Structure 1
């Protein structure tokens, strides 16, 4: 029989395997950071609360863990199988944070200690050879329905970028946004949104500091 405490212990173990707190695990999966806090495990009436199947699915996707491995934790395994525990981790911050000083070095790569992390399956070939890959948490609705508030996207600075790609753009003024690269030439860059309520953005090419292709998302 599956017990309430076994499910929560499995979530705690999954977080510990990734070097995360339960809040960090929730955040890496695009959930409310308090989703797995002890205070959320019982209601105000003292009755036991169970994590939703959706939240479990999201943390398994975010950590690259399989359902079988998680079931093993529920049944009493102390650790994940080695192959799963070795999933690659990349740094993650919010889009708003990415526009602030201190998060990137002079070459435009992740720097400093203010990053969280998300674990990715090693099957992500686009990331395998790029040590500078990093993730961003979506804010706003400009990319709905493809990317929603709280989704984590991962970009690879090493990946080639072409018109039509989903990209993250950083301007010289420090603004960072997830967009669809509509057109780019020596004079200007045109950026579209999936949400039709948001208009096309056009920037002079010399105002764009970086354009990186989105290669993975926690959806």
Structure 2
């Protein structure tokens, strides 16, 4: 048995996993965009409104969510252990194109492909595939790095940076001031260098790697 709040929370989590608003999930399922709005979950006279079996079935079909995953979400289990995420992915080589990111470092454009990631991550995360061996011995050709542009970066974090010229770099953030940023290499040599803050478009934290 499950409660009214548990089934709606599960639908909210499915929307988040698929990088959709709750109205966007309704639209993808072929329903009225307002079908799942929070304002409609209780009627004007206070009666609880439940999603129909048909609408839940359409949500599962359009998002590729299994009944087992839905049951786990209803039970409130750890989403990292119960549900995967779909992430946009691109290679480092392709990602140097200026049309792949917006000014804040969020993925845009049609060059990205979608992959299934076995863990739950935030809705803005994306993946970069290592294209060569320049990051050895830490990252090898074919390794996948999951990046979150929405996570605050701190000294000690492994990050991806993009310069004004469009070059992508992987480094460790060592220090950050209003005018200057210090990085070290991810390799054991730990070489460091400084750049002006004005020369960096954005930085984003590496939250997972497939090593």
TM-score after normalising by structure 1:
0.54
Counterpart for residue 171 of structure 1? 163
| 8 A Cα contact 2:104 2:202, kept in partner | no
CA 1:112–1:120 in structure 2 vs 1: closer, same or farther (change >3 Å)?
same
Please give the residue correspondences for 1:30-109 in structure 2 after superposition, counting only pairs within 5 Å.
83=69, 87-109=84-106
TM-score after normalising by structure 2:
0.56
> What displacement does 1:105 show?
2.8
> What displacement does 1:192 show?
1.5
Q: How many residues align?
A: 136
**1:112 counterpart = 2:104:** no
Higher Cα radius of gyration: 2
Q: Which runs of 5+ in 2 are unaligned?
A: 1-65, 70-80
> What displacement does 1:119 show?
1.5
Q: 1:161 aligns with which of 117, 132, 153?
A: 153
SS of match in other structure, 2:106: coil
What RMSD, in angstroms, separates the aligned Cα atoms of the two structures? 2.7
Counterpart for residue 54 of structure 1? none
**1:188 counterpart = 2:180:** yes
> What displacement does 1:142 show?
4.7
Counterpart for residue 137 of structure 2? 145
Counterpart for residue 135 of structure 1? 127
SS of match in other structure, 2:89: strand
> What displacement does 1:187 show?
1.9
Deviations 1:72-115, CA, capped at 9 Å, x for gaps: xxxxxxxx885399621111111122221211234431111111
SS of match in other structure, 2:94: helix
> What displacement does 1:134 show?
0.8
SS of match in other structure, 1:135: strand
**1:205 counterpart = 2:202:** no
| 8 A Cα contact 1:180 1:191, kept in partner | yes
